[in-house]
Chain A
């Protein structure tokens, strides 16, 4: 074998199958992202709650679903729940009976656990003084949360959110353990039929790369829009080193994760 022999004919032939795989990957990304986010809010409130038992419970949730490798989590949900007779008879079997249902449940739980921390980080990064100022204006707690804390938390947490989404997309590559034929599974089966070590894997990699980078681009635009208040086009408005910018930067840090 010489060079990196990419078999163009094989690559061309595999395109339709790879596209189908990509569609599956996209669905397995989109749904858990929505569900996980929705789930993350109440858990995040619990985690930040003053009630000790609630906070502990939420922390346990986060520890568990962040700690357990997705590979094993999926396996346990899919094959494990399938062994429970009562569940098989019950109404939830529509969900747990299908590999998609299981994958979406497992992925959503995993994503939620990470999002709890992203959300919490964003909320904690909101400068206390700004919250105090809102209180001093007599704005109610609920309104402060909706109009001040959340908009800022989203800005501070955006980078971390992007990283989580990106890593999440890549994490879906293991759903083939529960019989789902996603992009990676397609590439693998082509590989197992042809034993060509480069073509299918590199093709799939290119698909992932494009998918991930489109998402990143989207986040970039979103972030630019959200942070228009810090844009530096009206340059040398000197004197003011933009407190917002400084805060944002420090809060980004540490969040540059996969």
Chain B
């Protein structure tokens, strides 16, 4: 069995290309392991994030192995496998900012917020903060947000917590910034806490494949392979269900 899988390639530490041209990061490694377990011969293709889902919907991929949040529109169009990363969204603000991140706290402040174009953060902000509360600025990728945040063109960013923690807050240039406003789950609020997370997705017709993928992933979490791979790239836990493997190396 041959599978063509799509991946973003520019989302460290989950996905990136090293200097010799190999795709590495947490997602590709997990995907390779998964393929081994379901006995598939996988080719992982790197493509712009924006092009991934439409390409799969047009039948150009058999699945996407980049974390994707289960928004209602997406759930309608694609099958979501079990969550592989719980990477909630959060706000990144300047250390000295004094507003509270509620609708009331930010209204009328004229704050400029960075959002990823086409990402699920956009409808979420609209729903919980209103369309005109912030001045919204759209970016193609988080690197551009970071450059603009450091350049002083932005007041705050609303994006994935883990990435921003690793890429900004933990680094020297992030000394003036902090996370704020708590964790926000962008998916269906009906999903219970424990099952929340971003998943790989597959075409609607591939139910059988998704089952096999889920089985493989569950096994990987259970035998701590998941955690081993995760630790190579991400220092903090990314799933609640990996708690049992906390001490594995």
Chain A residues engaging chain B, CB cutoff 8 angstroms: 79, 82-83, 88, 97-99, 176-177, 179, 181, 185, 188-189, 191-195, 197
User: CB distance A195 to B54 under 8 Å?
Assistant: yes
User: CB distance B54 to A97 under 8 Å?
Assistant: no
A8 to chain B, nearest CB (A): 19
B193 contacts chain A at the CB level, 8 A cutoff: no
Q: How far is the CA of A185 from the CA of B151 in the complex (A)?
A: 23
A82 to chain B, nearest CB (A): 3
Knowing A82-B153, A97-B152, A193-B73 are in contact, say whether A185-B54 is a contact too (CB < 8 A).
Answer: no
A residues less than 8 Å from B77 (CB atoms): 195
A110 to chain B, nearest CB (A): 20
Chain B residues engaging chain A, CB cutoff 8 angstroms: 50, 53-54, 57-58, 73, 77, 117-118, 122-123, 137-140, 144, 147-148, 150-153
Q: Which of the listed residues A83, A192, A193, A197 has the most CB atoms from chain B within 10 Å of its own CB?
A: A192
A-B contact pairs, 19 of them (CB 8 A): A82-B148, A82-B153, A83-B150, A97-B152, A98-B153, A99-B137, A99-B153, A176-B140, A177-B140, A179-B144, A185-B117, A189-B118, A189-B138, A192-B53, A192-B118, A193-B123, A194-B73, A195-B53, A195-B73
B residues less than 8 Å from A197 (CB atoms): 54, 57-58
Chain B residue at minimum C-beta to C-beta distance from A98? B153
Chain A residue at minimum C-beta to C-beta distance from B117? A189
Q: How far is the CA of A195 from the CA of B54 in the complex (A)?
A: 6
Q: How far is the CA of A253 from the CA of B117 in the complex (A)?
A: 42
Nearest 3 pairs of A and B residues by beta carbon:
A192-B118, A82-B151, A79-B147
Q: How far is the CA of A97 from the CA of B151 in the complex (A)?
A: 8
A residues less than 8 Å from B117 (CB atoms): 176, 185, 188-189, 192
Q: How far is the CA of A82 from the CA of B147 in the complex (A)?
A: 8
Q: How far is the CA of A192 from the CA of B77 in the complex (A)?
A: 12
User: CB distance A179 to B139 under 8 Å?
Assistant: yes
User: CB distance B153 to A185 under 8 Å?
Assistant: no
The one of A177, A179, A192, A193 in contact with B137, judged by C-beta atoms closer than 8 angstroms, is A179
B residues less than 8 Å from A97 (CB atoms): 151-153
- Give the tally of cross-chain contacts (CB within 8 A): 59
The one of B53, B118, B123, B148 in contact with A188, judged by C-beta atoms closer than 8 angstroms, is B118
Q: Binding site of B, secondary structure by majority: helix, strand, loop or mixed?
A: helix
A85 to chain B, nearest CB (A): 10
Q: How far is the CA of A88 from the CA of B73 in the complex (A)?
A: 40
User: CB distance A176 to B54 under 8 Å?
Assistant: no
A residues less than 8 Å from B153 (CB atoms): 82, 97-99
A residues less than 8 Å from B58 (CB atoms): 197
Q: How far is the CA of A192 from the CA of B116 in the complex (A)?
A: 11
User: CB distance B151 to A191 under 8 Å?
Assistant: no
B residues less than 8 Å from A88 (CB atoms): 151-152
B residues less than 8 Å from A194 (CB atoms): 73
Knowing A88-B152, A191-B54, A195-B54 are in contact, say whether A181-B138 is a contact too (CB < 8 A).
Answer: yes
A84 to chain B, nearest CB (A): 9
B178 to chain A, nearest CB (A): 21
Q: Which of the listed residues A188, A194, A195 has the most CB atoms from chain B within 10 Å of its own CB?
A: A195
Q: How far is the CA of A94 from the CA of B24 in the complex (A)?
A: 41
B residues less than 8 Å from A189 (CB atoms): 117-118, 122, 138
Chain B residue at minimum C-beta to C-beta distance from A194? B73
Chain B residue at minimum C-beta to C-beta distance from A1? B58
A258 to chain B, nearest CB (A): 25
Q: How far is the CA of A79 from the CA of B114 in the complex (A)?
A: 14
Q: How far is the CA of A191 from the CA of B50 in the complex (A)?
A: 10
Q: How far is the CA of A176 from the CA of B147 in the complex (A)?
A: 16
A194 to chain B, nearest CB (A): 7
B residues less than 8 Å from A191 (CB atoms): 54
